[in-house]
Amino acid sequence: MNTTIRPAEPRDVPRMLELVRELALFERAPDEVTVTEQHMLDAGFGQDPVWFGWVAEGPVDSYSLSVERGGTGGGPDNKQPTPGLRRDDNPILGMAICYTRYSTWKGRYLYLEDIVVTRAARGQGIGERLFRTCVEHAVAEGFHGMRWQVLDWNTDAIRFYKRFGAEVSAGWLNGDLSAEQMKALPGQA
């Protein structure tokens, strides 16, 4: 497959948001995506961008236009369209979104927020190319390293990262406060 990796552009945001939703569905949290297309556009390409990234685009063969629905059977009656994929163009098949993170102990890190390859295009090396593009950026910018999160049950992703020699640790726990929780704290206006 002839896939091109290029920097993300504003015109890519609608398809990138579809990929975010596809990832959320895979991670068993489809209702957790609340970001809008406009917010994602502003956050990446507005006056004060906080994220940057790359997209993988390439041709789609007729088989990739559909994904198996699951269940019994097989064959053409058991398929459904893959969102964002059309035969008449080179759609975005994957993406990587990053931002700069600062460690008071080490300095600047590249934080890989999400790397997603649409289900119909997996197994073709697109994820590896996106990951390597992130690594190349971190090296070129002189970052101390690169960090990301992976769910402990996502054994395929863990195996993917370990292929690169990455350490995946369970030593840190994530802390979160929602906007509503922050507003509800005593002393908040």
Residues in CB range of 146: below 8 A, 6 or more apart:
109, 110, 111, 112, 134, 135, 138
Cα–Cα dist 27/14, whole Å: 20
From residue 34, how far is each of 38, 39, 94 by CA, in Å? 12, 10, 20
**27: number of Cβ within 10 Å:** 12
Residue among 119, 120, 147 at smallest CA distance from 131: 147
For 75, the token pair is 């064959």
Active site residue 63: no
DSSP class per residue in 147-162: E----TT-HHHHHHHH
What value, to the nearest 5°, has the Cα angle with vertex 123 and ends 77 and 114? 105
Catalytic residues: 161
